[in-house]
Amino acid sequence: MPLPAARIERLPRYVFDIIGESIRALQQRGIDVYRLDIGNPDMPPPPAIIETLAEAARNPRLHGYSGYRGTPEYRRAVARYYQRRYGVDLQPDTEVLPLIGSKEGIVNLSLAYLDHGDLALVPDVGYPSYSMGAYLAGAEVHWLPMRPESGFLPDLHNIPPDVLSRAKILWLNYPNNPTSAVAPLSFYEQAVAFCARYGLLLASDNPYNDIVFDGYTAPSPLQIPGAKDFTVEFMSLSKSHNMAGWRMGAVVGSSVALGRLLQIKSNVDSGHFLPIYEAATMALDEIPDAWIAERNAIYQRRRDLLLAALPQMGLAAPRPLATLYTWATPLDMPAADYLRRALDEAHVSLGPGAAYGPGGENNIRISISLPDARFEEAVDRLVTWYTRRGA
């Protein structure tokens, strides 16, 4: 066998792949592991979406290749969604590009823009695909610290000039995974002005925009006048409509950036199964806000249950206004010990903060995407383990 490509050396194994291995080892010993480590919606999509998929799958005309830009109906539905949700106008044929989940789009955008010697500005902490995409492209990462005292918003004014001269992409993600922080529109104004000044592509990753609590509404940088010339935003139905396994999303914004991304994608993939486009079009056009609000009320109850129990679990965390996550700090032991003991002794798997960047070493990400009864049991287990723990 030949040796693998050098780029593999720079790429760590995906963290959830590694966590999955420890969990499987416990499961093979007959142990029931509660997974609060992963953000995987536990509830199904609305039945009408599934019926649309089933009906479309029975149509013999919908089994061929779907084309590299997806269907015009889906692109138009995404544009209507942006108009309704943010008041943002998008040209469906040039400013909307379907993605096979936003993850591939994030990595492929990096391949479209970054070369050896280039830099991506990546939040530390953040979703791993921003840095991994840069590494895959042979480029480097400049970490932007995300500090609780600044609301987990990066300081864009203290980036060294030699970094700015090599940087091409600024990654932002609000509502944020893993910290659950949100950004006001005024922060996007600053970020758009910053990218305009330094000739950067602003890449906003926004899959949690509709997982919100306490009446919060998440904005988009595309609401800032002029942003569309150099901004793209990734949207996804994975979390908003409980469709994570369907791999349905889109990137919207700068037609120039979308064209370059399409140049990569059209050489790599051949689009979705057409019935998925039909169902996703229906989801964006017809699933009422009331369904989203009802689903969010379930997440909000879990969030409240978790927040109330945190002190008895030896953890502290800011109150999330959005996302599936709570970003917790252990009060009296290193995060790595907490994670290991929670798994070995309480059989609850939690997300290691270090997986989201060097700044996450002292943190633990707790997901609320487990059915109510199991979620409550998992919280009880952590409380019982922590209160009775030995040295």
Ligand X SMILES: Cc1ncc(COP(=O)(O)O)c(C=O)c1O
Instruction: Return residues touching ligand X (CB under 6 A).
Output: 39, 101-103, 127, 173, 177, 205, 207, 236, 238, 244, 249
Collapsing DSSP to helix, strand or coil, 125 comes out as: coil
User: CB 368 → ligand X: shortest distance, Å?
Assistant: 13
Torsion, CA 12, CA 235, CA 126, CA 217, rounded to 10: -160
The DSSP bridge partners found for residue 143 are 122
| Residue 133 or 207 with smaller CB distance to ligand X | 207
CA 261 and chain centroid, separation:
19
Nearest to ligand X of 110, 236 (CB atom):
236
For ligand X, the closer CB: 367 or 385: 367
Residue 201 or residue 346: which is nearer to ligand X going by CB? 201
The separation between CA 135 and the C-alpha centre of its own chain, rounded to angstroms, equals 19
Element (H, E) at 202: strand 201-205
Report in angstroms how near the CB of residue 132 gets to ligand X at its nearest.
12
Nearer to ligand X, 135 or 386 (CB): 135
* Residue nearer to ligand X on the CB measure, 37 or 386: 37
Instruction: Kindly tell me which of 101 and 154 has the beta carbon lying closer to ligand X.
Output: 101
Least distance (Å) between residue 144 CB and ligand X: 15
With contact defined as beta carbons under 8 Å apart, do 209 and 240 qualify? yes
Residues 6 or more apart whose Cβ sits within 8 Å of residue 259: 94
Dihedrals φ, ψ of 67, to 5°? Answer: 95, 155
Are the C-beta atoms of residues 41 and 376 closer than 8 Å to each other?
no
- Please check whether residue 159 is in contact with residue 121, taking contact to mean a CB–CB distance below 8 angstroms: yes
* Closest-CA residue to 390 (of 309, 333, 321, 311): 333
Considering only CA atoms, give the Rg of the chain: 21
Q: Which is nearer to ligand X, 52 or 369 (CB)?
A: 369
Q: From the CB of 173, what's the least distance to ligand X, in Å?
A: 5
Whether 66 contacts 274, CB under 8 Å: yes
Tokens coding 150: 């600044």
* Residue 356 Cβ vs ligand X, minimum distance, rounded to whole Å: 10
CB of 268 to ligand X, least distance (A): 15
Rounded to the nearest 5 degrees, what angle is found at the Cα of 277, between the Cα atoms of 266 and 297?
Answer: 120
3-class state of residue 63 by DSSP: coil
- Chain residue whose CB lies nearest ligand X: 101
What whole-number distance in Å separates Cα of residue 203 and Cα of residue 51? 34
How far apart, in Å, are the Cα atoms of 346 and each of 33, 283, 298, 355, 369? Answer: 9, 39, 24, 21, 18
Calculate the dihedral angle through the C-alpha atoms of 89, 90, 92, 97, rounding to the nearest 10 degrees.
-150
Least Cβ distance, residue 117 to ligand X (angstroms): 26
The nearer residue to ligand X, 195 or 211, going by C-beta atoms, is: 211
Distance of closest approach, residue 344 Cβ to ligand X, in angstroms: 26
Closer CB to ligand X, residue 71 or residue 173? 173
Shortest distance in whole angstroms from residue 249 CB to ligand X: 4
Query: Among residues 365, 364, 208, which one has the least CA distance to residue 295?
Result: 208
CB of 323 to ligand X, least distance (A): 8
Q: Is 169 helix (H, G, I), strand (E, B) or coil?
A: strand
Torsion of CA 21, 22, 23, 25, to 10 degrees: 90
